[in-house]
Amino acid sequence: MASLVGSRVERKEDTRFLQGKGRYTADINIANQTYAVFVRSPHARAKIKSVDTSKALKSSGVVGVLTGKEIAEDKIGGLIAGWAIRSEDGSEMKVPANPPLAKDIANFVGEPIAVVFAETLDEAKEGAEKVKVDYKVLKAVVDPAEAMKSDAIHEGVDKNLCYDWLLGDRKAVDEAFAKADKIIKVDLINNRLVPNAMEPRACVVDYNIASEEITLYTTSQNPHLSRLVMSAFGGVAPENKLRVVAPDVGGGFGSKINVYNEEIVCSWASKKIERPIKWVAERTESFLTDTHGRDHVTHAELAVTNDGKFLGFKNETIANLGAYARVFGTVTPTYLFGPCATGVYVIPAAYSNVKAVYTNTAPVDAYRGAGRPEATYTIERLVEKAAMELGMDKTEIRMKNFPTQFPFKQTLVHTVDSGDYVAGLEKAKQMADYAGFEARRKKSEANGKLRGIGVSSYFEACGIAPSAAVMSLGCGVGLWESAEVRFNPTGQISVFTGAHSHGQSHDTTFAQIAADELGVPMENIDVVHGDTDKGTFGMGTYGSRSLTVGGIAIVNACKKIVAKGKRVAAKMLEVNEDEIEFKDGEFVALKSNKKKTIGEVAFACYLPGQRDEMKSPIPEGDEPGLIESSFFDPANFSFPAGSHICEVEIDPDTGNVKVEKYTAVDDFGRIVNPMIVEGQVHGGIAQGIGQALHENTQYDETGQLMTASYMDYTMPRADNFPEFNLGFTCTHATSNPLGVKGCGEAGAIASPPTVMNAVIDALGGQEISMPATAEKVWKACKSMKKSNAKAA
Amino acid sequence: MTKVTLEVNGKKVSKEVPDHTLLSVFLRDNLNLTGTHVGCDTSQCGACVVHVNGKSIKSCSTLAADVEGSKVTTIEGLAKDGKLHPMQAAFKKTHGLQCGYCTPGMVMSAVDLLQTKKNPSDQEIREWLEGNICRCTGYQNIVAAVKEAATKM
């Protein structure tokens, strides 16, 4: 039987999505439901003097109005930070309370203050307008560098500093820098982004009066984790009385990891008003309240020798956390960032220092790549600048500092199990026709255009798991993944996974894996996810972990099915277990060549009785049934890597940057479905180009979000991109039996520096910040002309 | 309240709705045709694209009452006799969708493109889809899907 792993299998989920049969949270309606509309703070920072709900309560159709006072009285807990990070001086991070409804003070525009429930959405909106909140407006703290000099937003958080974190050895770095021929320096802004999953957040809650069970349908990347947080910290209901269902979810990119205020409030309120509740965010609500991404200000230095050897690295970064620390908020700028900041290079000494500060802006958390795009941008800008200042070829300097031996003990934390960085960059150069660039540059120049080429080599640590590692770094939970494989008597198989697909294609790839393991057609397999009442438990999908952690749990559960099947088949075929071979879905007695299919064995597992000649097929010590589960916790992260090359052409008259060519060569280890992996890379590159050229989140000095709709925030469109040219190299991961590495975030990690290096190359080395919009580039072109004129 | 009568996916429907009811709301809430999605409220993202009398329009910024008497086709009405429309089949073949949220609008918009122009170039496809935002695919496989469908339609 041909292996399905490695094949371009068309997706199972497409049949429903393409016919409008997907079932997203906003598609769900429950009889007798009410509609929720939240009253949100219009101020970035304001004391809440009073909230008057009397007029709203009398408004037509209004069923109830609840505020921060009631939720505090009911002792419903708030939102949490999932990782405890310590400062360099050993002190614990400072984390303020984050109540689901603000009672005394509002700390960012959009923070919910109260909620109105009504019979119709229009009535709920009208009711919300009648809630009168009396504010005392305070001066907002918006700029992260200023925040460290400003009044504390939260009581007890001096200088708005959550932590001042250090990874690495300052003394060793000082010594390395003292020996350097040259110090390369960059000052970078990693622009704040809004993840912008196309499906706005939503929740529908149904409280069952008889069983006292709450069912929450929600747009989550990790329903089990949501239930855990809402139960353990929110105190909304015990875990066994709370069912969280994340049905079809229209994209996440990190923004749907967190449990949000609205989910806690609606779940609590549904029990209180004894009615189902539906809430669907408008796009502007998503802009205001979804967790944002990136937002770093970094100074970084690279110590080099004249012949291009790297001696030392350091960065000083201020990370904006926004108003509150959320689930991945504190780890994104630390352990997901610092360890990757030395990139794919042998650098003997390094440190990464990050100060995380609170501001009166929306909370910042994980967004595709989380920390690793910021790290890669830092080192790859430095390396490119080093090549420029030393007059070296930008690929040669990289090759010179790549490790060639694996496992590679990376400078700060990770031991990278496998990779071949030289092969990746060589392949990328060839595919991009790197050698032919100068001719293309001349051709562009002849047409009055500026052409530039940029390179970026990256590695990243993903497959966010090893519980032992993440818990030692401050994670509040273990990050294993679970699976259950249920072989039904009539041959259909249900594979339950704790991972969650919101575009990642698990229905297909997980079925491919299980089909290969069990030797059955993948049509017989249903992948079930996203419902705490169905799967065992699970940590969900983020950090490119579904396949490398969740997929392996499925493999291991399948192996247990086969192991039991072997024992049962041996008894059925009256031979010893070691005389049975399992191949292509059949258990074969090697001597007699008698066989039982896995379907026959499964059926027999459910018929353990005996009568006359018929004997029980269940061996002594085994139980009936054929259901197995596994919790997989890998020994290490997975480390995808690669090299990307981009060419841009700039029109100096307009400042318009056109991405002419984009080549990506990635190493994801063994690939389960090349078609799906290519799609993941395309999407990641597009988001990264969005960050480099188009997207920016802008608050004004009072903390008003100026980019709160698609009219103001530039979402990349189809005509912003060329056709991406993809290639792959392959070194197997050694930390899992499939040899797979995560692929979901790589594109977004590698592409911003690749594009910016190309833009800066076109501008003759002139620094420019992301996003390189036409306006900024046009200005840079003007100043280039001026300095050229002076030189002449 | 206004009485709105339409022919939706070949079936005549008539509903009494508030005057300001948007076509997207009419389809989703009154007819339970939830394949038409709303992604932005400002007529930018195109997740809500349907056909009115054969032409693609954004249903989130169209009043139901304004298209009174029209023939409306939604994503649910595209497949015929249990067989995917060539555009739907092409999206499946080329992996032109991931999370599926923008997909209905993307498919309806692309069908209109091929009705307007038989064999569009890559650039023409990309420009036509300017009003449809996808956050997952980077558009590459969507462009491939439209080209694939162009050979079948």
Q: Please report, for the domain that includes residue B138, its CATH number.
A: 1.10.150.120
In this predicted model, which residue has the larger pLDDT, A403 or B153?
A403
| pLDDT reading at A226 higher than 80 | yes
Enumerate residues 109 to 128 of chain A having a beta carbon within 8 A of any beta carbon in chain B: 122
Does B141 lie in the same domain as B92? yes
Q: Are B135 and A682 in contact (CB < 8 Å)? A: no
Q: What is the DSSP letter of A742?
A: -
Confidence (pLDDT) at A784: 85
Name the band, by pLDDT with cuts 50, 70 and 90, for residue A773: very high
* Confidence check: pLDDT of A792 > 70: no
Q: For A493-498, what is the mean pLDDT?
A: 97
Q: What is the distance between the alpha carbons of residues B115 and A738, in angstroms, rounded to a whole number? A: 46
Q: In percent, how much of chain A has pLDDT > 90?
A: 95
Asked if residue B91 and residue B34 are part of one domain, the reply reads no
Task: Say yes or no for a CB contact (<8 Å) between A250 and B123.
Answer: no
User: Do the chains contact at A719 and B37, CB–CB below 8 Å?
Assistant: no
How many other CB atoms sit within 10 Å of the CB of residue A3?
9
Cα of A401 to nearest chain B Cα, Å: 32
Give all domains of chain A, ordered by start, each with its CATH number: 14-18+32-138+199-250+256-289 (3.90.1170.50), 296-465+636-791 (3.30.365.10), 480-632 (3.30.365.10)
pLDDT of residue A541: 95
- Over residues A695-711, the pLDDT tens digits come to 999 999 999 999 999 99
For residue A608, what pLDDT band results from cuts at 50, 70 and 90?
confident
Q: Which two tokens stand for residue A18?
A: 């393409």
Q: Phi and psi for A49 in degrees, rounded to 5? A: -80, -40
Cβ contacts from A onto B, under 8 A = 174
Mean per-residue pLDDT, A545-566: 97
Rounded Cα distance between A495 and A594, Å, is 29
B39 contacts in A (CB within 8 Å)? Answer: 198-200, 283
Q: Please write the tens of the pLDDT for every residue from A104-143.
A: 999 999 999 999 999 999 999 999 999 999 999 999 999 9
Residue among A194, A380, A185 at smallest CA distance from A294: A194
Q: Is residue B107 part of a domain?
A: yes
Same domain, B71 and B96: no
**C-alpha–C-alpha distance, residues A337 and A354, integer Å:** 9
Percent of chain A with pLDDT over 70: 100
Q: What is the pTM of this model?
A: 0.97
| CB distance A729 to A665 below 8 Å | yes
Question: Between residues 730 and 769 of chain A, which touch chain B (CB distance below 8 Å)?
Answer: 747
Q: Is residue B58 part of a domain?
A: yes
Is A718 an 8 Å CB contact of chain B?
A: yes
Measured distance CA(A176)–CA(A183) in Å, rounded: 11
Question: Which CATH number belongs to the domain containing residue B30 in this structure?
Answer: 3.10.20.30
Same domain? For B52 and B105 the reply is: no
In a domain, residue B8? The reply is yes
Q: What is the largest CA-CA distance in chain B?
A: 46
Residue A642 parent element (H or E): strand A641-651
Strand B71-73 and strand B49-52: pairing? antiparallel
Residues B67 and B91 in one domain: no
Q: Judge if B37 and B90 occupy the same domain.
A: no
Q: Are strands A62-67 and A34-40 parallel, antiparallel or unpaired?
A: unpaired
CA distance B153 to B141: 18
> What are the DSSP calls for A487-545, one per residue?
E-TTS-EEEEESS--SSS-HHHHHHHHHHHHHTS-GGGEEEE-SBTTTSS----S-TT-
Lowest mean pLDDT among A187-201, A410-424, A622-636, A777-791: A777-791
The closest alpha carbon to B1, from B25, B20, B21, B18, belongs to B18
State mean pLDDT over A162-184: 98
Q: Is residue A559 helix, strand or coil? A: helix
The pLDDT of A168-184, averaged and rounded, is 98
Is there a domain that residue B132 lies in? yes
For residue A791, pLDDT over 80 is answered with no
**Three-class secondary structure of residue A160 per DSSP:** helix
Do residue B97 and residue B146 come from a single domain?
A: yes
Question: For chain B, how are helix, strand and coil distributed in percent, rounded to 5?
Answer: 40, 20, 40
pLDDT value at A668 more than 70: yes
* pLDDT at residue number A789: 77
Q: φ and ψ at A773, to 5 degrees?
A: -75, 165
Within a domain: residue B81?
Answer: no
Q: Is the confidence at residue A611, as pLDDT, over 80? A: no
- Asked if omega into A407 is within 30° of 0 (cis), the reply is yes
Of B76, B104, B136, the residue that ends a domain is B76
pLDDT of A672 strictly over 80: yes
Band (pLDDT 50/70/90 cuts) for residue A786 is confident
Pairing of strands A656-667, A641-651: antiparallel
Residue B20 lies in a domain: yes
Q: What is the mean pLDDT of residues B83-106?
A: 98
Q: Is the pLDDT of residue A261 over 70?
A: yes
Q: Are residues B58 and B23 in the same domain?
A: yes
Instruction: Select the residue from B136, B146, B147 to test the A interface by mutation, using most A Cβ atoms within 10 A.
Output: B136
Question: What per-residue confidence (pLDDT) applies to A787?
Answer: 79
**Tens of pLDDT along A210-222?**
999 999 999 999 9
**Direct distance between the N- and C-terminal alpha carbons of chain A, in angstroms, rounded to an integer:** 71
My answer on whether B19 and B67 are in the same domain is yes
Nearest to B45 among A15, A504, A710 (CB): A710
Q: What ipTM does the predicted assembly reach?
A: 0.98
Locate tokens 């991931």: which residue? B98
SS (H, E, C) A312-338: EEEEEEEEEEECCCCCCCCCCCCCCCH
**Domain closes at, from B50, B76, B102:** B76
Residues A32-70 pLDDT 10s: 999 999 999 999 999 999 999 999 999 999 999 999 999
A728/A458 Cα distance (integer angstroms):
14
The structure tokens 């909370």 sit at A363
Test B141 with A679 for CB contact under 8 angstroms. yes
Average pLDDT over residues A650-665: 98
Report CA Rg, chain B: 15
Pairing of strands B55-58, A296-304: unpaired
Q: What is the mean pLDDT of chain A?
A: 96
Least-confidence region, from A189-203, A342-356, A457-471, B97-111: A457-471
Give the best residue of A10, A11, A14 to mutate against chain B (max B CB count within 10 A): A14
Total domains present in chain B: 2
Domain co-membership, B21 together with B40: yes
Q: Is the pLDDT of residue A188 over 90?
A: yes
Query: What is the mean pLDDT of the segment spanning A659-676?
Result: 98
Average pLDDT over residues A296-319: 98
Identify whether B116 is part of a domain. yes
Contact residues on chain B for A16, CB-CB shorter than 8 A: 100
**Same domain membership, residue B19 and residue B46:** yes
Contact criterion met (CB < 8 Å) for A683 and B136? yes
Q: Which residues of B touch A249 (CB under 8 A)?
A: 99
- Of the residues B41, B76, B111, which one is the last residue of a structural domain? B76
Verify cis geometry, omega within 30 degrees of 0, for the bond prior to A771: yes
Per the CB < 8 Å rule, is B91 touching A18? yes
Task: Supply the range of the domain harboring residue B7.
Answer: 2-76
pLDDT of residue A788: 79
What does the pLDDT read at residue A645? Answer: 98
Same domain, yes or no: B69 and B93: no
